[in-house]
């Protein structure tokens, strides 16, 4: 959510930002907010005047009572009662305007960074850099489900009977590999100075609307029936929510945290043949990184964070590239995002395995996360980034370490987590 003062002073800039995100249907929100803002400020001014007049009359009543002029004092009391009724109506009007303003402000996109490329959808994202040499072996690499099943490591049929499509059982060495990757990612981030956290896996609705847009909420979140609770789609949701309505000390910043959680997502819609198996699913696990920092430090942290993900994947012998997300591919609260994509030697192309985002002060403003300053409090900046998200990340790992005989190499950095194993043997 942007600052209403900013919108008030820069309505054309806000509208241009909406146009760049190809959301022209939201242009009317700016004019509606401006109109409601004028009415709200007028109502507040009227309320201030009524309270001032009431104070003057109350003082006058006191003087008249001391003078023994009770009759006139009683007449003025009637005026005070009338003012109280007007104030009650005026305060209800103020509350109505404030609510209507907030409802609209929550739908207006965050101001994007000036460097964000303009484009309608993810097909217009811009490649930034490749890391590692993409390699296609001279032997066939099976589909990822076939690789996992060759180790008796995947059972989709049982999962469908138990929970339906979009779920899975991981078994044996594949399950162990899945957990080992998460443990390695956890320790990798701890060694970067991040604090390890395990957050709540459910959050209340005020946290949900604080960390994401209404469109994202509808497309992603599972609601717990009969309760004000949602299953998290990523641990970022509850990690940022941890600081709701807090005033942070400058000396404690930045907060750098790496969090583990299961994640639950509706994943509405059809996604094509390459997203079957365990690519796009309703339940997965993820190691996340979250930073809450001073506004002037957030872009430095942004670059650090996505570089950490690149470094981790390269340590596992997986080539990756970075993509700058275009304007139409940015969710409303995002100021700038970069996707990390891993190389698929089977598909001979890259696919997304993580995303790093600077939200600037959009989440902090919604959740009331402020920093105590010498000249008043101000909103913090929040950032998040995927470290790894298996089992999708397993696809990249298995394909890039797959051998012609069906075995899978275990990179040196992962061997201690796999009991010293150097290869998985079908």
Residue 372 clears pLDDT 90, i.e. is over it: yes
Q: Tokens 């109280």 correspond to what residue?
A: 84
pLDDT band at 270 (very low <50, low <70, confident <90, very high): very low
The closest alpha carbon to 170, from 274, 288, 259, 278, belongs to 278
Taking each helix axis from N to C terminus, what angle separates 27-67 and 70-105, rounded to the nearest 10 degrees? Answer: 160
Report the candidate in 328, 387, 336 with the shortest Cα–Cα distance to residue 358: 336
Q: What residues are paired with 378 via a beta bridge?
A: 371
CATH architecture of 122-424: 2-Layer Sandwich (3.30)
Per-residue pLDDT tens for 324-366? 999 999 999 999 999 999 999 999 999 999 999 999 999 999 9
Task: Give the pLDDT of residue 275.
Answer: 54
Say which residues have a Cβ less than 8 Å from residue 287's Cβ, sequence separation at least 6: 182, 185, 186, 189, 258, 259, 260, 386, 387, 388, 389
Q: Which residues contact 61 (CB under 8 A, 6 or more apart)?
A: 73, 76, 77, 80
Res 274 pLDDT > 70:
no
Find all residues with CB under 8 Å of 417, minimum gap 6, and list them: 180, 181, 183, 184
Antiparallel, parallel or unpaired: β 169-170 and 255-264: unpaired
The answer to pTM > 0.75 is yes
Q: What is the pLDDT of residues 168-197, one digit of tens each?
A: 999 999 999 999 999 999 999 999 999 999
14/332 Cα distance (integer angstroms): 13
Q: What is the pLDDT of residues 377-417, one digit of tens each?
A: 999 999 999 999 998 899 999 999 999 999 999 999 999 99
- Using left for φ > 0, alpha for ψ between -120 and 50, and beta otherwise, residue 355 falls in beta
Give residue limits of the domains in the chain. 4-105, 122-424
Distance CA 360, CA 336 (A): 9
pLDDT(201) > 50: yes
**pLDDT higher than threshold 70 for residue 122:** yes
Question: Where does residue 274 rank: exposed (0-12), middle (13-18), buried (19+ CB within 10 A)?
Answer: middle
pLDDT digits (tens, 9 = 90+) for 65-93: 788 787 888 888 888 888 999 999 999 99
| pLDDT bracket for residue 269 (50, 70, 90) | low
Q: How far apart are CA 359 and CA 382, in angstroms?
A: 6
| Spatial contact of 195 and 291, defined as CB atoms under 8 Å apart | no
Cβ contact 37:101 at 8 Å: yes
Cis peptide before 346 (omega within 30 of 0): no
Show the tokens assigned to 189.
């981030």
Query: Which CATH code is given to the segment(s) 4-105?
Result: 1.10.287.40
Q: What is the mean pLDDT of the chain?
A: 94
Residue pair 57/75 in contact by the 8 Å Cβ criterion:
no
In the DSSP assignment, the letter for residue 274 is G
355 in Cβ contact with 326 (< 8 Å):
no
């Amino acid at each position: 959510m942007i600052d209403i003062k900013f919108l008030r002073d820069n309505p054309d800039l806000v509208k241009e930002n909406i146009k760049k995100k190809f959301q022209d249907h939201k242009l009317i929100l700016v004019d509606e907010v401006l109109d409601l803002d004028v009415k709200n400020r007028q109502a507040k001014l009227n309320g201030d005047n009524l309270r001032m007049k009431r104070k003057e009359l109350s003082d006058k009543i006191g003087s008249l009572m001391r003078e023994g002029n009770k009759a006139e004092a009683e007449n003025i009391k009637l005026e005070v009662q009338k003012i109280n009724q007007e104030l009650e109506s005026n305060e209800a009007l103020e509350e109505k305007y404030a609510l209507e303003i907030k409802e609209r402000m929550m739908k207006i996109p965050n101001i994007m960074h000036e460097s964000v490329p303009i484009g309608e959808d993810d097909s217009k994202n811009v490649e930034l850099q490749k890391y590692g040499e993409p390699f296609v072996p001279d032997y066939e690499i099976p589909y990822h489900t076939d690789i996992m099943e060759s180790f008796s490591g995947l059972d989709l049929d049982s999962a469908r009977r138990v929970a339906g499509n979009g779920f899975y059982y991981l078994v044996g060495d594949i399950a162990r590999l899945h957990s080992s990757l998460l443990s390695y990612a956890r320790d990798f981030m701890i060694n970067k100075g991040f604090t390890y956290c395990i957050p709540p896996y459910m959050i209340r609705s005020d946290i949900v609307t604080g960390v994401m847009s209404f469109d994202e909420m509808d497309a992603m979140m599972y609601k717990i029936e009969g309760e004000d609770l949602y299953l998290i789609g990523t641990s970022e949701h509850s990690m940022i929510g941890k600081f709701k309505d807090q005033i942070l000390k400058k000396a404690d910043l930045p907060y750098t945290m790496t969090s583990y959680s299961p994640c639950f997502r509706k994943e509405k819609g059809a996604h094509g043949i390459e997203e079957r198996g365990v690519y796009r699913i309703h339940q997965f696990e993820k190691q996340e990184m979250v930073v809450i920092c001073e506004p002037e430090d957030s872009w430095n942290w942004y670059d650090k964070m996505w570089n950490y993900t690149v470094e981790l994947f390269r340590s596992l012998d997986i080539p990756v590239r970075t993509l700058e997300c275009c304007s139409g591919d940015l969710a409303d609260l995002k100021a700038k995002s970069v996707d990390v994509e891993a190389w698929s030697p089977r598909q001979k192309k890259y696919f997304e395995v993580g995303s790093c985002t600077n939200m600037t002060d959009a989440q902090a403003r919604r959740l009331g996360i402020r920093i105590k300053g010498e000249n008043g409090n101000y909103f913090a900046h929040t950032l998040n980034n995927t470290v790894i998200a298996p089992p999708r990340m397993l696809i990249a790992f298995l394909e890039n370490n797959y051998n012609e005989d069906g075995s899978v190499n275990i990179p040196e950095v992962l061997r201690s987590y796999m009991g010293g194993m150097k290869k998985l043997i079908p």
